[in-house]
Amino acid sequence: MTTSKKTVRTCANGHSYVKSSDCPTCPICEQERKPDIGFLSQLSAPARRALEHNGITTVELLASYSEKEILKYHGMGPASMPKLRTALKEKGLSFKSE
């Protein structure tokens, strides 16, 4: 992603927003699609999209991956890992051992 001056953009849904990078994601659309409940609601948008893009939409599916595998996904960072560990622990699950 390159950084440039701030520009006003309009997404396909008609939302106007300002961006200073070439990232095409509309922050208004992204906020609208954020879940209200569940472990995905606790994550930042990039981390949530990283899991969703890889088909991980439930805690049970998350438990079939190791922490190392999850951290390889673009958009997933170490700050999200405590939230994921907590979500797994609440269901009596944990990350797969390596």
What pLDDT is recorded for position 82? 97
The domain spanning residue 57 has which CATH number?
1.10.150.20
Specify whether 70 is located in the same domain as 98. Answer: yes
Range of the domain at 92: 35-98
Whether the Cβ atoms of residue 43 and residue 70 lie closer than 8 Å to each other: no
Name the residue type at position 14: G
Percent above pLDDT 90 for the chain: 56
What pLDDT is recorded for position 1? 54
Length of the chain: 98
Specify whether 21 is located in the same domain as 48. Answer: no
Given a cut of 70, whether residue 29 has pLDDT beyond it is: yes
Using 50, 70 and 90 to split pLDDT, how confident is the model at 30? confident
Name the average pLDDT for the chain.
88
Kindly report, residue by residue over 71-85, the tens digit of the pLDDT.
999 999 999 999 999
8 pairs with which residues across the strands?
18
Return the residue matching tokens 């405590």.
Answer: 82
Specify whether 24 is located in the same domain as 40. Answer: no
Mean pLDDT of 40-69: 94
Given a cut of 90, whether residue 64 has pLDDT beyond it is: yes
Mean pLDDT of 50-54: 94
